[in-house]
């Protein structure tokens, strides 16, 4: 069984991805390899940030690993907040302030189409592979729901519920992160059986 380190310190992302991966793969956390520092995220795109985090772990710890970067892209705002999603309202990464800023910017906007984009970068034996997951929706008029994290309370799905109104299991089965993770699982399954 391939051992992989998930290059993130975000406990919410760890919970979501472990639900999908833990039964099939030996997934370790950064703390398990002694990596306690904050990973760099200084690139201009979601794809590049994902690569940067995986490269950091592979280069400094020499282990097969994968990382992910996710952004919310709102059409009416030209793709904002995008790569700056976590820091939209400032460096403190405050989800409530980020959502408040987003809702303020959209307060007079009828066109509220948005998408979540997750990019997972896998480094396996020194080779990079990327997997993308997209989830389409709209930005609601106000926050709703107490589950999830980040922008989940304002991201409305086709059935009228926000991501924050789904259980962790529901979200983990169909979210942008789940879509990218399922592609990762399919790749790893083929790799192990080849």
Instruction: Write the DSSP symbol of residue 40.
Output: P
At 164, list the tokens: 């924050």
- 174-193 exposure pattern, b = at least 16 Cβ within 10 A, e = fewer: ebbbbbbbebbbeebeeeee
Which of 32, 69, 96, 108 is catalytic? The answer is: 69
SS3 25: coil
Question: For the chain, how big is the Rg over CA atoms in Å?
Answer: 17
**Beta strand extents in the chain (DSSP E only):** 3-6, 26-29, 65-74, 81-82, 113-124, 127-139, 155-156
Q: Is 94 a catalytic residue?
A: no
Indicate which residues carry an active-site annotation.
69
């Amino acid at each position: 069984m391939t051992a992989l380190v998930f290059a993130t310190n975000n406990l919410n992302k760890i919970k979501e991805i472990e639900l999908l991966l833990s039964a099939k793969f030996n997934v370790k956390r950064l703390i398990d390899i002694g990596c306690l520092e904050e990973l760099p995220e200084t690139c201009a795109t979601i794809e590049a940030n994902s690569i940067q985090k995986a490269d950091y772990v592979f280069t400094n710890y020499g282990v097969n690993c994968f990382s992910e970067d996710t952004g919310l892209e709102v059409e009416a705002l030209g793709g904002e907040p995008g790569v700056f999603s976590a820091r939209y309202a400032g460096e403190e990464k405050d989800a409530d302030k980020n959502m408040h800023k987003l809702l303020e910017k959209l307060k007079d906007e009828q066109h509220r189409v948005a998408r979540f984009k997750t990019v997972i970068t896998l480094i396996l034996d020194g080779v990079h592979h990327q997997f993308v997951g997209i989830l389409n929706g709209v930005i609601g008029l106000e926050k709703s729901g107490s589950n999830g994290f980040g922008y989940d309370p304002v991201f409305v799905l086709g059935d009228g519920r926000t991501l924050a109104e789904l259980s962790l299991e529901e979200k983990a089965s169909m979210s942008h992160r789940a879509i990218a993770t399922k592609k990762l699982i399919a790749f790893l399954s083929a790799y192990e059986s080849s």
